[in-house]
Amino acid sequence: MKLFPMSSSRFYLFHFCFLLITSTSLSKSNFQPKTLFLLVKKDPSSLQYITKIHQRTPLVPLKLAIHIGGESLWVDCENGYKSSTYNPARCNSRQCSLARSTSCGNCYGNNTTRPGCNNNACYNVVTSPNSYTDGEIADDVLSIQSINGSIPGPIATVPNFIFSCAASNLTQNLGKNVKGMVGFGQQSPVSFATQLASNFKFSRQFAICLSSSTKRNGVIFIGHSPYFISLAYDASRDLIYTPIITQPRYFTITYPHYVRINRASPEYYIQVSSVRINGKNLRLNKTLLTLDENEEGGTRISTAIPYTELEASIYDVVSKSFVSEMPKEVKKVPAVQPFKTCFNSTYIGMSRLGYNAPEINLVFQKANVYWTIIGANSLIKVSNDVICLAFVERKKVSGQAIVIGGYQMQDNLVEFDLARSRIGFSNSLFFHQTMCSNHNYA
């Protein structure tokens, strides 16, 4: 596909931009739910968290990877996208502005138009793990199931859900039969949660509860709490909140032409002020823990990486302290990639909280505001008699000092409250003798 630029799109600040997303009707029955949900399961090969949505006319089920920091929903449109309601966004249209288009033009491919290749259409940047490309902005029908108390409710439909139509090569780094990604990024007018909140007039918030099992589903709640993990337990009751840090982001795009964009990042940053292991404060370089204007340092939350990444010097301090707090009879053994710190598991005990491991606290804005990581989320079994510290050393020279990955969030409820610009952590649901797969929405 070759894109010929016609005109540059205009860019707008986010301020209440999501309120401009409207549709001609909410659903055939004017049904307006308060909370929606997606089932989500960890793929055993890619370790990505996968959900299924229904899109198009007639509706087609699609497997998509969850990307908390992604700007929007995008799907592969090169392999059999068929829909009678597909509508490409035309140059300088409202959809182009909301989706923060980077270019506009004609698509020439075999002298025919199709989803993802239309004339007078606008494009934006679409990303997947380790790659990016341009994607045609469009809208189509999307359906999602609602919640009725602690059980599934009626199906809700959005007739004109904005998404990006990408090339199939962008799915190469995704799991088997995964056709795209669902982006929940903050400050994005067309993120998955923001569009649903605008269409159905509920608060901009969602909560993820990732299952530790590759066979049983976790759940993502979109909309108002309560968030019932079991019939009797609302996991939103016990959240510890910390502010979301909003950060400008600079893009430099060289294809199809040079563009420099200054806009708020869709990623989720928080302030981790210190780290404790078994109640002892670690001596870390505090400068690294602060996010700077170039989006370096600080702490980011991501479902796109399987295990929490630590900057090299921070990893060194954390791993040494963790080893020193382990029982003396638990001996270190050679590393097992991608992990550097591993142990013989023969003499380590187990409880309902997982392995009997040193408790890790990520301390937020105050010493008494912290998230606790227990043995179930700090250690991982790699063979019959070997377990490893489930944190990895950051390979890149630059980036965040701490990137909280999926493994550490498993069987915890994490709420992203965009309306109040805060994130809530539940601590492990094992403390309440339940887990993310115990819901009743399957």
H-type alpha helices, 157-233: 192-200
With b meaning 16 or more CB within 10 Å and e meaning fewer, what string describes 35-70?
bbbbbbbbbeebebbbbebbbbeeeeebbbbbbbbb
Q: Do 220 and 356 have their domain in common?
A: no
pLDDT value of residue 20: 35
pLDDT, tens digit (0-9, with 9 covering 90-100), for 311-323: 999 999 999 999 9
Residue 117 above 80 pLDDT?
yes
Q: Is there a domain that residue 437 lies in?
A: no
Q: Do 185 and 279 have their domain in common?
A: no
Q: Is there a domain that residue 236 lies in?
A: no
Q: Is there a domain that residue 373 lies in?
A: yes
Q: Do 227 and 252 have their domain in common?
A: no
In the chain, pLDDT over 70 holds for what percent of residues? 89
Q: Do 111 and 205 have their domain in common?
A: yes
d(CA 383, CA 234): 35
Q: Is there a domain that residue 435 lies in?
A: no
Last residue of a domain, one of 182, 201, 231: 231
Last residue of a domain, one of 231, 261, 290: 231
Q: Is there a domain that residue 442 lies in?
A: no
Give whole-number Cα distances, 390 to 112, 270, 354, 407, in Å.
50, 21, 13, 8
Q: Do 40 and 189 have their domain in common?
A: yes
Q: Which residue has the tokens 């400068």?
A: 287
pLDDT value of residue 180: 97
Give mean pLDDT, residues 129-154: 92
- 173: CATH: 2.40.70.10
How many CB atoms are located within 10 Å of the residue 332 CB? Answer: 11
Q: Do 320 and 224 have their domain in common?
A: no
Q: How is the chain split among helix, strand and coil, in percent rounded to 5?
A: 15, 40, 45
Give mean pLDDT, residues 2-29: 35
Q: Do 205 and 246 have their domain in common?
A: no
pLDDT, tens digit (0-9, with 9 covering 90-100), for 200-257: 999 999 999 999 999 999 999 999 999 999 888 999 999 999 999 987 665 444 444 4
pLDDT, tens digit (0-9, with 9 covering 90-100), for 326-362: 999 999 999 999 999 999 999 999 999 999 999 999 9
> What's the structural domain count of the chain?
2
Q: Do 182 and 133 have their domain in common?
A: yes
Q: How confident is the model at residue 265 (pLDDT cuts 50, 70, 90)?
A: confident
pLDDT value of residue 257: 42
Q: Do 208 and 251 have their domain in common?
A: no
pLDDT, tens digit (0-9, with 9 covering 90-100), for 29-52: 467 899 999 999 999 999 999 999
pTM of the model: 0.90
Provide the domain limits for residue 44.
Answer: 2-231
How many CB atoms are located within 10 Å of the residue 29 CB? Answer: 11
pLDDT, tens digit (0-9, with 9 covering 90-100), for 280-300: 999 999 999 999 988 899 999
Q: Is there a domain that residue 221 lies in?
A: yes
Last residue of a domain, one of 176, 210, 231: 231
Q: Which residues have CB under 8 Å from 89's CB, separation 6+?
A: 95, 96, 99, 101, 121, 122, 136, 137, 138, 139, 162
Residue 4 above 50 pLDDT?
no
Helix (H) or strand (E) holding 323: helix 312-325
Q: Do 95 and 199 have their domain in common?
A: yes
